[in-house]
Amino acid sequence: MTAADTRVYRLGEFHPFKGGDKRFLYLVPAGAIFEMDNDVSKLISLLSQGPVQHEQLIDGLVAEGVATSDAEQLLGEMYQARIVLNGKSSPEPPQNPPGVFPLQTLVLNLTNQCNLSCQYCYEFGEDKVATPEGKPKFMNLETAKASVDFLLEQSVGRKGVHITFFGGETLMNFPLLKNVVAYANEKAAAQGRSIDFSLTTNATLLTPAIIEFLSENRIGVTVSMDGPKEMHDKLRVFANGRGSYDIIEPRVRALIQGHRTRPITARVTLTAGVTDVVKIYRHLKEDLGFHEVGFAPVTTSPDRLYAINEQGMDGVLDQFHVLASEYLEYALRGEMHGFTNVSDTLAELCQGVNKSHPCGAGLGLLGVGPSGDIAPCHRFVDSDVHALGHISTGIDREKQNAFLDRGHIDTKYDCHTCWARPLCAGGCHHEAYVRYGDTGHPNLHYCDWIRDWTDTCLQIYGAISAKNPGFLEAFAERKAS
């Protein structure tokens, strides 16, 4: 007589969604996507009311028209995929980085000075964390060269690495930028490696000569621009209060026309009164000709006048949905749309991302200030509280580990029951510090928003994979902006 199988099964952790005419599961512990068929649906339905013993589960599947042998095989496969669990199952941890993570990107803040006085600036605005007093305002060549050497030394095993030039306004120290490009290319070539460059700029200082240099050296460019004149000039102003749109508009057009070796992208900061996402996108993408346009709500305390309230964020999400629908239409025709926020999420879905931390800050990415201080990322540059060392002495591993331990998803208990945590991991460290005074605090004010947006992108992914799967191949190597 055969002993009864006493195993009891329950549903694993997943988020169901539809794409096109197909049904999918987003498997939370693995950050993976699984396409459902009718038999899988039957199995999930049987477990939807609670745990079921093995024999009862098989009998239930047979009663639904599944052959006994197929039912056993199905249950085994779904157990391996962790769609169903039993008492022996243990949670699958997120992808933890190795003990020493090789550096991938270094953000060089060439200067902490800027020729604009944008009211929402995280570096010098009301919520600044930087403490630049008594420190150099412009990075010198010695510090820049040491930073390049540091990047190459700390990126063992990587064939290619990346430098992002940042500010302040990056182009206020353009002579140094030119020297860094030449030095970094020479040093990388001597090691048989490659080095890639990008920069962020407000575009006010662009000239034909600068544009030519950027194009010749294949330097990626992101322009901080908040839409058409009436919106851009609300907060992106000079010290005298004069808007900057009329200065940058012809320079942006010249950049897009003259820089032919890399796509030119726009980065929009959404603030109270600057939330017409569709109008901003139309202007930047269709009127000016940016290759891609990405949007981010301003990082600020909730009581600032330019902070977006809950109703405003709901309106932003509604407009994100409009552009997301357009994106899907383009994708099904095999065309790129240009809405960065969808592309970045699709890339993470395609790559099966399951984050232990919200981003690469303090891991594969570090920032270096004009003084040579090392920070977790560019948003913490010049902050004594968040410094992780100095370029002349290297990383303080104790401080780095403390920052990473604090930001790990395992410490964010509010996130442990959220199905979107593989992509979010609690949200931006800097946002958390500004809002809650703690880099490791989950950004709870965005939770519902993030879940809604992630579900939207999952549906887009599902529809594309069902109707034009080849389109997704381009996202296998894409890095999020």
Model confidence pLDDT, tens digit, residues 334-347:
999 999 999 999 99
Arithmetic mean of pLDDT over the chain: 94
| Block residue for tokens 């690469």 | 360
How confident is the model over 413-440, as a mean pLDDT? Answer: 96
CB within 8 A of 264, min separation 6: which ones?
A: 221, 222, 223, 255, 256, 290, 291
CA distances from 371 to 36, 149, 152 (A): 55, 16, 20
pLDDT at residue 5, as a whole number: 72
pLDDT in tens, 168-212: 999 999 999 999 999 999 999 999 999 999 999 999 999 999 999
- In this prediction, residue 92 has a pLDDT band, given cuts at 50, 70 and 90, of low
How do the residues of the chain divide into helix, strand and coil, expressed in percent and rounded to 5? 45, 20, 40
Examine the pLDDT at 96 and tell me if it is beyond 80: no
* Model confidence at 90: pLDDT above 70: no
Choose among 16, 188, 191, 208: nearest CA to 106.
188
pLDDT digits (tens, 9 = 90+) for 129-168: 888 888 999 999 999 999 999 999 999 999 999 999 999 9
What's the CA gap between 362 and 374, in Å, rounded? Answer: 10
- Share of residues in the chain with pLDDT > 90 (%): 89
**pLDDT at site 128:** 78
pLDDT of 1: 39
Q: Residue 4 has what pLDDT?
A: 58
pLDDT tens digits for range 285-309: 999 999 999 999 998 888 888 999 9
Taking 70 as the threshold, does the pLDDT of residue 89 lie above it?
no
Q: 251 near 206, Cβ under 8 Å?
A: yes
- On the 0-12 / 13-18 / 19+ scale of CB atoms within 10 A, 69 is exposed
pLDDT in tens, 453-462: 999 999 999 9
- What is the chain's alpha carbon radius of gyration, rounded to the nearest angstrom? 25
